[in-house]
Amino acid sequence: MSHSISTLPLATAALLWAAIAPAAEITLTPRDLFQAAEGLFLAPGVEVPAPDLDRPAIRHAVSGPAADRVRALIADGEAAGFAGLVYDNRDHSHSQLPSALYPRLARLAYAPALQSRGLDYGLAGHILLPAIVFGNSSTAITRSSAPRSLPRLAMTAPGWPERTHRTYVSNHIYVYPEHRDHDAVDHFPAQWPYMIVSQGSSGSDKPFLHALAMTLAAFRPDTRDALEEAGLVAPALQMILRRSLDGVETRDDYLSGRAHPTVFDAGRLRPLRMIEMAASLAPDALPPLVRLTVEAEDFGPAAGLAARDERLYDTPSAIARLWRGHAGRREMVLSARTMPAPRGREVNFRWVLLQGDPARVRITPEGPTGERARIEMDWQPALTQTDPDGQTRRRTRIDIGVFAETGETLSAPAIVSVSFPAHQLRRYEPGPDGTPRLAEVDYDAARRGAPFDPLLYWSAPWRDVFVYAPDGTLAGWTRWGKNGREAYGADGRRLGQVTMRYEIERREDDLPVLRAVPD
């Protein structure tokens, strides 16, 4: 026999309503927003409603040791719980954290006027709240000549690296699926700590949302207040997630690529360990934020035949470069500092190769605390490796993690990435001084069907074979293409003719192709 709420005894009906009523909702309207900069809105007057403490913190439908531990911490008054937390779903409820499971967690909603502008959908970063926000968007760019996941879009679209960093230091963190960008091939041009990228497509983000919700609730009240005030909530979550992964047991494990994959597999999540680590973090032992500065480098603003910028982005905790030029060896000098500076604690910096061929990367720390490092890199071909999740992937990238070490505390990484155009078939040989020099390069990726990111790279219908003088200087090159054999001098002038310049044009299939034209 079934009953409606109205036919139940009043006390029972009240308890049932407390269990199933929707969580508190914050509805943003245009009047709440203040435009602080182009594409950036602040909502300074928005307040997170206090949770109804008569309702359960976590419904029993969320079972297991992790949920039980958070319930116990909250019941004993040792955890901050869900007060002051906001969940932001940005895929129109396609893959959302069900509100009924966390009745004390406030949820963000958008007025129709903001929805019509797309401010409720896709990548987060246009709107910042004065609160701790976590969320997700289980979407991707699919109807485009340059399909990509939202994380790869953020890495390659103008303005988005800076916007994504800003969310990171504003106590906002989001989960996005890698959707076809990290299967047999890792298509990401870089790695960064600004978001969590889940292995898979729609729904692969949900285990991370549960883990984030419970970890945020498990912090001590004074610790979470200190993290929020310092803008360190997202970096602390990144450290806890990575330190808690399956297969990361020791300090050395954390200071290795095992703890810092480009994309996270839900099978490696250990929520209980994340919760215990959050609960044990004291406000005087917060992991600092590492900020990087490029002091010198030979990556430039106009490299390669197309004379395009090699600097993909420079943000405080993530720097990315594209190896467009012909040099076989590159160098960067970087410095690191922490924000805020730890009080009364000595800081040492650790520079760690997370991804790439260790035989082709040399990292030399400098300074009494390792606050500077000289990084020397040789060209490297694509690497095929088996990741900790057991999958074999092809990669064309160097990742270097920079960590601040303060006693027993290790920070989340700042990351330097260098991406190689492996769709070009390059062959290097040792020069007179042992430095690798380019001997031959086949640019014709379109003919070979070699995939490449059309927002970053291009194809050209020729192959160049380089010639060097006895002293090792470039003498010129021979180009093999549709016009047969052509000889070029070191100045780029086709022998007997004029200097050539290069332009990128689009083919009918929308692939960018380089063509040579007389200057």
pLDDT band at 502 (very low <50, low <70, confident <90, very high): confident
Residue 495 has pLDDT above 80, yes or no: no
pLDDT band at 499 (very low <50, low <70, confident <90, very high): low
pLDDT band at 20 (very low <50, low <70, confident <90, very high): low
3-state secondary structure of 140: strand
d(CA 228, CA 84): 10
Lowest mean pLDDT among 186-200, 203-217, 498-512: 498-512
Residue 514 has pLDDT above 80, yes or no: yes
Contact 352, 401 (CB under 8 A): yes
Label residue 378 exposed, middle or buried (CB < 10 Å: 0-12, 13-18, 19+): middle
What is the CB neighbour count within 10 angstroms for residue 352? 18
pTM, to two decimals: 0.92
- Per residue in 43-90, pLDDT (tens digit) is 999 999 999 999 999 999 999 999 999 999 999 999 999 999 999 999
pLDDT band at 5 (very low <50, low <70, confident <90, very high): very low
Residue 12 has pLDDT above 50, yes or no: no
Residue 102 has pLDDT above 60, yes or no: yes
Q: What percent of the chain has pLDDT over 90?
A: 85
d(CA 514, CA 306): 7
Model pLDDT, residue 425 = 97
pLDDT band at 2 (very low <50, low <70, confident <90, very high): very low
Model pLDDT, residue 17 = 44
Phi/psi of residue 176, nearest 5 degrees: -135, 140
Inter-CA distances, 455 with 155, 244, 304, 319, 506, Å: 11, 35, 16, 18, 12
Residue 8 has pLDDT above 80, yes or no: no
Contact 334, 401 (CB under 8 A): no
For residues 338-351, give the mean pLDDT.
85
3-state secondary structure of 138: coil
pLDDT band at 517 (very low <50, low <70, confident <90, very high): confident
Model pLDDT, residue 6 = 33
Residue 331 has pLDDT above 90, yes or no: yes
Angle, helices 160-168 vs 233-243, to 10°: value is 90
For residues 133-158, give the mean pLDDT.
97
User: Taking the domains of the chain in order of start, what are their residue ranges?
Assistant: 5-285, 289-419, 425-518
Instruction: List Cβ neighbours of 150 (8 Å cut-off, separation of 6 or more).
Output: 122, 123, 137, 139, 140, 141, 176, 177
For residues 244-271, give the mean pLDDT.
98
Model pLDDT, residue 21 = 59
- Per residue in 380-431, pLDDT (tens digit) is 999 999 998 889 999 999 999 999 999 889 999 999 999 999 999 999 999 9
Model pLDDT, residue 498 = 60
Residue 471 has pLDDT above 70, yes or no: yes
Model pLDDT, residue 507 = 80
- Per residue in 223-235, pLDDT (tens digit) is 999 999 999 999 9
Model pLDDT, residue 496 = 65
Which pair of tokens denotes residue 391?
Answer: 């999958």
Which pair of tokens denotes residue 60?
Answer: 């029993």
Model pLDDT, residue 142 = 95
Residue 7 has pLDDT above 50, yes or no: no
User: What is the chain's mean pLDDT, rounded?
Assistant: 93
pLDDT band at 491 (very low <50, low <70, confident <90, very high): confident
Fold of 289-419: Immunoglobulin-like (2.60.40)
For residues 356-383, give the mean pLDDT.
97
Which pair of tokens denotes residue 87?
Answer: 């969940």
pLDDT band at 15 (very low <50, low <70, confident <90, very high): very low
Show the beta-strand stretches assigned E in 116-249: 127-128, 132-136, 140-141, 148-149, 172-177, 196-198
